[in-house]
Structure 1
Amino acid sequence: MPDNNSPWGPKGSGDKGGSPWGNGKKPGATGGPDRSPDLDNVIEGFKTRVRSGGPRRPNKGGGGGGAPNFSIGPFGPLGIAAVIGAVLLISTSVYTVDQTERALVLRFGDYVRTEGPGLKFKLPSPIETTYKQETEIIRKDAIGGNDASSLMLTGDENIVDIDFTVLWRISDLADYYFEVDDPAEAVRAVAESAMREVIGRNELEGIITTDRLAITTSVRDLMQDVLNEYKAGVRVVEVQLQKADAPDQGNVVDAFRDVVDAAQERETTINQATAVQNDVVPRARGDASEILQQAEGYRDSVIAEAKGEAERFNLIYEEYRQAPVVTRQRMYLETIEEVYAPAEKIILDSNDSGVVPYLPLDKLGANRPRGGQ
């Protein structure tokens, strides 16, 4: 019985070279008339294959060939599409954020939230998309060098060659991403502008010598204020002044080196004078204090002695007023005692006994000093 399920139509038993283009014989060959394929059998075979879920497998022992059965199982094409869609949905809904990163979540292009490190979930793409950026690393921008941006005008109308480095990091990823078109370039522009403003308020000598730290601190604070006004989402960590010298043109460098050398010599002279002052002034102050103490001691002794004499005179006067004769006699005796105490004395009896007193004149001057004649 012919197999009508073949897409090429029924086969004859003697037809061994079946072909959709004819009866299997080459055109012009002998053996019978040419036949065209049976279109109705082709259409019927195709309908049967669709209703059965695919082409039927050929019988192992039967004749008549057929296409192999490519059945996709009980789920069908819709099941496979559902599985693929689920895999894609999960893959676009789960993402991870590293420790040094932050992630922006955008819903149809509008900012929704900022996510920190870890495993995160979102609505599948293209409903929600993410933008991840490293925010915990320190970025470094070097400004200056050999270009014109390194030459700046000081407050005393001199030119100084400045090279400096700005260290910064992202503090607010949403502001960094949405508020400024090119945040990195904005940081460079603000840094150069702030440095020029601070340099314009200072003199050249201080810039190249002692005011370097104050200048970098002022530039950092000014940069932070301007970037906050722009809502750039950037925090300035540090400004490092690499070079602050006079320009290389002409003899300017040599002149400023002479100025620096003169300033150093001035400092050396001042330090030496300060050392001498610290040695001489304390010694002079000590001598002055000693003289003052001696004068005060002499003053106190004179005053005390004078007060004692006055008090003694008052006491003697009081005694004299009560007994004038006795007091005069006592004063006379005390005075004679004071006058004659150190002198050599010869005591003679005032009574007239008729005896001529013997005076040893050779003994009287024995105890006198040789120069006291």
Structure 2
Amino acid sequence: MAWNEPGGGGNKPKDPWGGGDQGPPDLDEALKKLQQRLGGLFGGSGGGRGGSGGGGKISGTVLGLVLAGAVVVWGLMGFYQVDEQERGVVLRFGEFNRVAMPGLQWNAPLIDEVIKVNTTKVRAKNFREIMLTQDENIVEVQASVQYVIDDVESFVLDVRSPESSLEQAAQSALRHVVGGMTMDLVLTEGRARVASEMQERLQAYTSAYGTGIRISTVNVDESRPPTQVQGAFDDVIKAREDEERVKSEAQGYANSVVPEARGRAQRQIEEASAYREQVVASATGEASRFNQLLTAYNMAPDVTRERLYIDAVQNVMSKTNKVMVDVEGGNNIMYLPLDKLAERSASSGSQGGRSMQSDAARLRELTDAVTEQLRRDAAMEQNRRGGVR
């Protein structure tokens, strides 16, 4: 029956519970009717008000059991497990509440929401970019970024898509670093520098964005010129290698020639130094010898003069192979064949040591005889001059 259906008398709406003109229904009466209807659903007596009271009691017990079971199920639904490598972000009515640590945890179902994040797993992002260098050349660089979740609250709540933001920040950092370097440096020994500067800049970006990500490693996997100019670039690389090879050969030749020239120069310097020392020493010795002779001459001029004469004759005779001796007061000239004597001495030396020694002794005796004769002639000449005076 509708609420606005007329009934009874007048234009007042008819009460669907049959109350007539009574006021608002009593709350206890409404709860009692609801209990009776639920009891009918669960098999109890659903009669009118005059029904038996036992059915109402059974329906209440069943309802209590159902409510208790629902509470137990609701409570059991709140238990969950957080692994050792995970952290859980607990949201209560969509607002951050706390960070759940590893272990068995409980949160109120349908009220709290738990978002689990693996904080120890090393994640990786790979990307390839084509960009301009400082010297306006085009290079293609493939890089990889490895990272971990350092702050789960920021990772889940502060940024809508932190990994997408990380990729965009990595591309920006790579373009900034490569744009400040030359192509040769990027393609050769500068790759490690690119990775280091890129990691530093990327970490600054992610920290400023509040992504909760910590960059662990940045690697430049490949750097090469674009495919369209690969042939020309290979020619440039080959020419550069030829240049380095020629430089190495020239350096090797210089390393072999320069030390040798330095050695020769040093040897000449040493020889010149030795010659200088020899000349200086010889001059010093001659000067000392002259001083000594001067002293001896001052003490005995005649004897010193005769001695110098004999030494000079001996020095001259030792360098010639023929000696002619003119004896004063006679017509015979003595001839000494020193060359023949020397040859005989050499031939006898090849035959045996004894003959060589005998010839040498004869030569010495002959030389001594000549020297003695010369000394006598010099003495006789000196006496003759004294008698004339």
Q: TM class by shorter-chain length?
A: 0.5 to 0.7
Match of 1:273 in 2: 250
> What runs of 5+ residues in structure 1 fail to find an aligned partner?
1-40, 55-69, 145-149
**Cα distance, 1:326 vs structure 2:** 4.5
Match of 1:95 in 2: 80
Q: Any residues of structure 2 matched to 1:11-22 within 5 Å, and which? A: none
Match of 1:64 in 2: none
Q: For the residues of structure 2 that align with 1:359 and 1:319, how far apart are their CA atoms?
A: 36
Of residues 230, 244, 249, the one that matches 2:209 is 230
**How many residues align structurally?**
297
CA contact (8 A) 1:103 1:130 kept: yes
Counterpart residue identity of residue 102, structure 1: R
SS at match of 1:166: strand
Q: Does 1:47 align with 2:53?
A: yes
Identity %, equivalent residues: 28
Match of 2:161 in 1: 182
Match of 2:268 in 1: 291
Comparing 135-144 with 193-202, greater Cα deviation is found at: 135-144
Distance 1:202 1:42, change over 3 A: closer
Counterpart residue identity of residue 245, structure 1: R
Q: Does 1:165 align with 2:144?
A: yes
> What runs of 5+ residues in structure 2 fail to find an aligned partner?
1-46, 344-389
**Cα distance, 1:198 vs structure 2:** 1.3
Distance 1:281 1:349, change over 3 A: closer
Match of 1:260 in 2: 237
**Cα distance, 1:223 vs structure 2:** 0.9
Distance 1:198 1:42, change over 3 A: closer
SS at match of 1:289: helix
Q: Any residues of structure 2 matched to 1:334-373 within 5 Å, and which? A: 334-342=311-319, 358-359=332-333, 367=340
Match of 2:120 in 1: 136
CA contact (8 A) 2:119 2:150 kept: yes
Root mean square deviation of aligned Cα: 3.5
Counterpart residue identity of residue 85, structure 2: T
**Cα distance, 1:324 vs structure 2:** 4.5
Q: Does 1:315 align with 2:292?
A: yes
SS at match of 2:52: helix
The two structures have a TM-score, normalised by structure 1, of 0.67
Of residues 240, 246, 267, the one that matches 2:225 is 246
Q: For the residues of structure 2 that align with 1:81 and 1:274, how far apart are their CA atoms?
A: 95
The two structures have a TM-score, normalised by structure 2, of 0.64
Q: For the residues of structure 1 that align with 2:104 and 2:338, how far apart are their CA atoms?
A: 132
CA deviations 1:283-326 (Å, max 9, x no partner) are: 33333333333222222222222222222223333444455454
Q: For the residues of structure 2 that align with 1:203 and 1:170, how far apart are their CA atoms?
A: 34
Match of 1:6 in 2: none
CA deviations 1:44-65 (Å, max 9, x no partner) are: 4432433xx43xxxxxxxxxxx
CA deviations 1:225-259 (Å, max 9, x no partner) are: 2212222221223333344333344xx33322221
Q: For the residues of structure 2 that align with 1:331 and 1:368, how far apart are their CA atoms?
A: 27
CA deviations 1:64-115 (Å, max 9, x no partner) are: xxxxxx895xxx64466345424533541x4322233222234554445434
SS at match of 1:222: helix
Q: For the residues of structure 2 that align with 1:46 and 1:358, how far apart are their CA atoms?
A: 194
CA contact (8 A) 1:122 1:128 kept: no
Q: Does 1:114 align with 2:99?
A: yes
CA deviations 1:2-59 (Å, max 9, x no partner) are: xxxxxxxxxxxxxxxxxxxxxxxxxxxxxxxxxxxxxxx9644432433xx43xxxxx
Higher RCO (CA 8 Å, separation ≥ 6 residues) = 1
Q: For the residues of structure 2 that align with 1:346 and 1:82, how far apart are their CA atoms?
A: 158
Distance 1:308 1:196, change over 3 A: same
Distance 1:312 1:358, change over 3 A: closer
Higher helix share: 2
Counterpart residue identity of residue 71, structure 2: G
Q: For the residues of structure 1 that align with 2:55 and 2:190, how far apart are their CA atoms?
A: 92
CA deviations 1:178-201 (Å, max 9, x no partner) are: 332211111111111111111211
Match of 1:32 in 2: none
CA contact (8 A) 1:90 1:124 kept: no
